[in-house]
Amino acid sequence: MKRIATKNIAQLKIAFKINFHILILMLYSCDSFVEVDLPKSQLTNTAVFQNYTTANAAMADIYAKIRDKGLLTGTVSGISNQLGYYTDELTFYGTSTNPAFAFYSNSVLPSNTTVSTMWNNTYNQIYAVNSVLEGIAVSDFSTTEKAQLQGEAFCIRGLLHFYLTQLFGDIPYIETTDYKLNSTVKRLPIDQVYIHIINDLKNAEQLLPSSYSSSERVRVNSFVAKALLARVYLYTGRWNDAVKMSSEVIDNNSLYLFEETIGKVFLKGSTEAIWQFMPSVAGKNTDEAILFTFTSGPPPLVAMSESLMNSFTANDLRKTNWTTAITTAGKTWYYASKYKESKNTSAAKEYSIILRLTEQYLIRAEANTQLENYQGAREDLNKIRKRAGLSNSVANTKEEFLQTIIEERRKELFTEYGHRFFDLKRTNNLDAVLFAKPGWDTTDRLLPIPESEFIVNPNL
């Protein structure tokens, strides 16, 4: 009994230390990434990286921050919602005093609180990632343990900078926790930012194992890095590299299988999920379902736009399976229902999917089109259309294929992390598509840098 009690006390002490050091790490996070207190962060690193358990917990905390407060959160502040307003996916039904109204009316100012939150939360997460990388460098972990955490950190750092540069254009690429350097950083041109992103993702691909670190897909592996590389290569016009990376993900049939049944795509156990968020508590489902679901009209906050709903043909299974009609007093609205469970269940049925296999097929189809491999593009395109209950594409020319792919991306990836906005921007179609929106202007292709950052660091 005494031996068991001693063991339990030791376990409690370890758990207390883990939680204490994570709490310290969170307490020393800051409102602006240029306001980091170096001595405190060094003390935190020394404590957290004394053993692998606490270091791994610190990395897990970064995932939780991205899920709950980052650009990819499924809550109202995430880009799935905000960029849906900003383009032509979602209609806003809240009041004009809500910060989201500025996104819907394309009148976002540098003083907008949502913009400053996006910027500061993301750079705080990047700071935490850099803290992990610096802590691992001086740790005595095993080679395998170091590679796992370094690979995750590089992958997340590349991912976060990718989204920042899509939103803000030229941005600082932060690779240190040195507050003196960070307080004077300058913005890098986008092409240089992409070089850093690709280097980080390549490092992650080399360091990470192909398998997941648990039975679930909630921590990144090498194929997450490959999937992100495929996207970055597409965005930067490196067509052959985009085909190569997407094919490596698609061809890994031991991990990923295209879901032939459309109703299974967004379930927790989806075989096409490449990376998912684990819910914050047991039994919770997705924040997206909580945000988008409503039971009567008019919608309290958000509904799908008429233009998006009109883009679906009547027999498109994505319309019947991934959107839900709500009719009140003879008027009908639709909400995005890719995720069905808006309330807790005994065990979670749905995890938010950050990366999924269908995007890789669309990446490969577009890259092959640019390479004039129309047969390859047609096969990938028709696979997606078949699942949606549609006939094969009739595209024949390069222009027809590219147009069809953009249309399929709109109907396949709606309300998923800003794809629509990024697609219109990278294909130079923002003005042509959004010109009819009140308030739209060519300069809206980028969000403004928060004014608070200019005050702190004029170099921005």
pLDDT at 166 over 80: yes
CATH code assigned at 114: 1.25.40.390
In tens, the pLDDT along 168-213 reads: 999 999 999 998 888 889 999 999 999 999 999 999 999 999 999 9
Inter-residue contact 103 to 82 (CB < 8 Å)? yes
Angstrom distance (rounded) from CA 118 to CA 97: 19
Query: What per-residue confidence (pLDDT) applies to 419?
Result: 98
> What is this structure's pTM?
0.91
Domain-embedded: residue 291: no
pLDDT at 34 over 80: no
Q: Which domain holds residue 401?
A: 49-282+350-438
For residue 352, give the nearest of 64, 62, 26, 22 by alpha carbon: 64
Query: What per-residue confidence (pLDDT) applies to 45?
Result: 58
Query: What per-residue confidence (pLDDT) applies to 7?
Result: 39
The pair phi, psi for residue 340, each rounded to 5°, is: -95, -30
Angstrom distance (rounded) from CA 146 to CA 164: 27
Domain-embedded: residue 163: yes
Query: What per-residue confidence (pLDDT) applies to 39?
Result: 37
Domain-embedded: residue 60: yes
Domain-embedded: residue 105: yes
pLDDT at 41 over 60: no
Q: Which amino acid belongs to residue 310?
A: N
Query: What per-residue confidence (pLDDT) applies to 458?
Result: 87
| Mean confidence (pLDDT) of the chain | 91
Average pLDDT rounded to a whole number, residues 311-330: 97
Average pLDDT rounded to a whole number, residues 147-151: 97
Categorize the per-residue pLDDT at 376 as very low, low, confident or very high, splitting at 50, 70 and 90: very high
Helix axes 143-168, 419-426, angle to 10 degrees: 70
Least confident range from 104-108, 155-159, 282-286, 435-439: namely 435-439
Inter-residue contact 415 to 80 (CB < 8 Å)? yes
Q: Please give the tally of structural domains in the chain.
A: 1
Domain-embedded: residue 122: yes
Categorize the per-residue pLDDT at 21 as very low, low, confident or very high, splitting at 50, 70 and 90: very low
Angstrom distance (rounded) from CA 256 to CA 251: 8
Domain-embedded: residue 249: yes
pLDDT at 298 over 80: yes
Domain-embedded: residue 324: no
pLDDT at 394 over 60: yes
pLDDT at 224 over 50: yes
* C-alpha neighbours within 13 Å on the C-beta side of residue 366: 28
Tell whether the torsion through CA atoms of 350, 356, 362 and 365 is positive or negative: negative
Scan for tokens 């806003």, then name that residue: 92
For residue 123, give the nearest of 84, 167, 60 by alpha carbon: 167
Q: Between the CA atoms of 360, 256, 418 and 196, what dihedral angle is there, to the nearest 10 degrees? A: -70
Angstrom distance (rounded) from CA 2 to CA 9: 10
For residue 49, give the nearest of 15, 22, 29 by alpha carbon: 22
Domain-embedded: residue 6: no
Categorize the per-residue pLDDT at 455 as very low, low, confident or very high, splitting at 50, 70 and 90: confident
Percent pLDDT > 70 in the chain is: 90
User: Strand 90-92 and strand 302-304: pairing?
Assistant: antiparallel
